[in-house]
Structure formats: C-alpha cells, structure tokens
Structure 1
Amino acid sequence: MPSFRATLQITGLRPGHAPGEVMDMAIAVVGSSHVVEANQLDVVAGVPRITIRFMVEASEYDSENRSARDTAASLAHGVNSVATTGVLRTYRRSAGKWLTL
C-alpha cells in the first residue's frame, strides 16, 4: 500500500479547545478512512505543524494520489473545527523520498 503524509500548520486554537484535541482530531479524521502509520508535532520557524502519515489502498497511481489529496483536505477541514490552520501540503513516498503532490 502506498504511503503518504500530510502536513498542516496550526496557527491557533479555537475558543474552548485544548492543544491535544488538534492531533486527536487529525488522527480521527484520517483514521476513519485510512491506516495512520505515524503522527508528529513539530515547530518550524515558530509555527506548530502537525504531520500525519497514512496509507492508501493500492489502485491506479493517479487515483491513489487523488485519494491522498482528498484525505488531506478532510484533515484540514476537521482540524479547522478545533484550531485555525495555515498551509496544507501532501506528499507521496517514492523510492525513499517524499515527493510533493
């Protein structure tokens, strides 16, 4: 199964939400349709960024990429209910490198 990852900047929390809810929401959204391989939180240039690594069911290459992009969009939408967000990026693992979709 092909491996993908989505990264999303977190620019703030919505009122009434705790920091831990951000990652919980991200994992729940992606995990509802795909296997979540890993997750992490980094701070890049002072801005928190979550990364969710997930697998997509093997099919045709473009279809896999489309599914990964759709999943990343769902991730951003879900997380946006508990936090304000910034840049979303999606990557595909290929020959040991992460390629931007």
Structure 2
Amino acid sequence: MPSFRATLQITGLRPGHAPEDVMNMAVATVESAHVVEANQLDIVAGVPRITVRFMVEASEYDAENQFARNAAVSMAHGVNEVATTGALRSYRRSAGKWLAL
C-alpha cells in the first residue's frame, strides 16, 4: 500500500479544547478511512505543525493520490473543529523521498 503524509499548521486552539485534542482529531479523522502509520508534532519557525502518515489502499496511481488529498482535506476540516489552522500539504512516498502532491 502506498504511503502518504499530510501536514497542517496549527495557529491556535478553539475555546474549550486541550492541545492533545488537535492530534486526536487529526488521527481519528484520517483513520476513519485509512491505516495511520504514525503522527508527530513539530515546531517549524515557531509555528506548531502536525503530521499524520497513512497508507491508501493500492489502486491506480492518480486515484491513490486523490484519496490521499481527500484524507488531508478531511483531516483539516476535523482539526478546524478544535483549532485554528494554516497551511495544509500532502505528500507521497516514492523511492525513499516525500513528493508533494
């Protein structure tokens, strides 16, 4: 199964939500349709960024990419319920490198 990752900047928490709610929501949203391999939080230039790595069922190349894009957008919508967000990016693992979709 091809591997993908989605990254999302987190710019703030919505009232009533704890920091761990952000990653919990991101993982829950993606794993509702795909197998989640890993997740992490990084601080890039002072801005928190979450990454969720997941696999998409093998099919046709463009369809796999579209499933991954859809998963990333769903993740961002879910996270927006608990936090304010910035840039969303999606990547595909290919020959040991992460290529932007």
TM value normalised by structure 1:
1.00
**Runs of 4+ that moved beyond 2 A:** none
**Superposition pairs of residues 31-46 of structure 1, within 5 angstroms:** 31-46=31-46
Percent same amino acid among aligned pairs? 80
Give me the whole-angstrom Cα distance separating, in 2, the residues matched to 1:11 and 1:59.
Answer: 35
1:63-83 CA-partner distances (Å, limit 9, x unpaired): 000000000000000000000
Unaligned runs of 5+ in 1: none
Give me the whole-angstrom Cα distance separating, in 2, the residues matched to 1:27 and 1:75.
Answer: 8
- RMSD of aligned Cα (Å): 0.2
TM value normalised by structure 2:
1.00
Q: Give aligned pairs, total.
A: 101
Amino acid at match of 1:58: A
Unaligned runs of 5+ in 2: none
Give me the whole-angstrom Cα distance separating, in 1, the residues matched to 2:28 and 2:100.
Answer: 23
